Chain A
Amino acid sequence: QQQVKQSPQSLIVQKGGISIINCAYENTAFDYFPWYQQFPGKGPALLIAIRPDVSEKKEGRFTISFNKSAKQFSLHIMDSQPGDSATYFCAARRSGGYQKVTFGTGTKLQVIP
């Protein structure tokens, strides 16, 4: 059962453009939604995260939009750069217990000059 659905699977964006990655979830027990960036052969690195009581969070060129009623959230990368080329994972953390994190399927982003 895929608890966090992510799309698209891959994305090609021109330098300076906006990259948009979408995620959807079903479990209302999730209370924290991070996005991770992963380069080949490396571990994921936290990019930005949001809680469901906030509809938008911006950090530099990265913005998360969150729609609690629709159970959807998205990552927007403004002014995309070739150095942003990586795989991006959305995730959702369950409240209580060990607060396990469930990852989306990943989006491979390629920013072309």
Chain B
Amino acid sequence: GAVVSQHPSRVICKSGTSVKIECRSLDFQATTMFWYRQFPKKSLMLMATSNEGSKATYEQGVEKDKFLINHASLTLSTLTVTSAHPEDSSFYICSARDFPTGETQYFGPGTRLLVL
């Protein structure tokens, strides 16, 4: 099956710093990638839809200046959490839809962010 990787798998940073998370589709092209956030024992909340070569589309309530998304190629999307604060601590998961059929979303293993 299709593989999506995320890097890093875990990151601890100080409050005020910025953190970049990478999402890669390893064996397929993905014109569309999605970024989710998951709190402990909770469901996945869609943050934004990332499209190769264009601006990301953010869900209501998600600060686009806080969570910067770049989808520079068909296999890579990045999420940068700017000026991170403890309340940004969460599990961030990306998914990618295979191109061109786009039938299935494949999820990455997630990135655990802890802001001290």
**Chain A interface residue count: which class?**
20 to 34
Contact indicator per residue, chain A 94-109, by CB within 8 Å of chain B (1) or not (0): 0000111111111010
In the complex, which residue of chain A has the Cβ closest to the Cβ of B93? A43
Whether a CB of chain A sits under 8 angstroms from the CB of B44 is: yes
**Which residue in A41, A89, A100 is a CB contact (below 8 Å) of B34?**
A100
Supposing A42-B109, A44-B93 touch, asked if A89 and B46 sit within 8 A by C-beta, the answer is no
Residues of B contacting A54 with CB < 8 Å? none
Known: A44-B107, A46-B104, A89-B43. A101 touches B112 (CB 8 A): no
What are the residues of chain A within 8 A of B104 when measuring CB–CB? 34, 46, 49
Residue in chain A with minimal CB distance to B107: A43
Q: When chains A and B are docked, how far (Å) is the Cα of A99 from the Cα of B57?
A: 13
Please, which residue of chain B has its CB at the minimum distance from the CB of A93? B105
For the complex, give the distance between the alpha carbons of A52 and B105 in Å. 18
Chain B neighbourhood of A12, CB < 8 A: none
Measured as residues with beta carbon below 8 angstroms from the partner, the interface class of chain B is 20 to 34
B116 to chain A, nearest CB (A): 20
Interface string of B23-39 (1 = CB under 8 A from A): 00000000010100000
User: Does residue B97 face the partner (Cβ distance < 8 Å to A)?
Assistant: yes
Q: Using a CB–CB distance below 8 Å, which chain B residues touch chain A?
A: 4, 6, 32, 34, 41-44, 46, 49, 51, 57, 93, 95, 97, 102-110, 112
If A43-B109, A103-B44 are given as contacts, then 18 extra A-B residue pairs at C-beta distance below 8 Å, sorted by A number, are A34-B104, A34-B105, A41-B112, A42-B109, A42-B110, A43-B4, A43-B6, A43-B93, A46-B104, A46-B106, A89-B44, A93-B105, A98-B51, A98-B57, A101-B34, A101-B46, A105-B43, A108-B41
The 3 closest A-B pairs by CB, nearest first: A43-B107, A43-B110, A98-B49
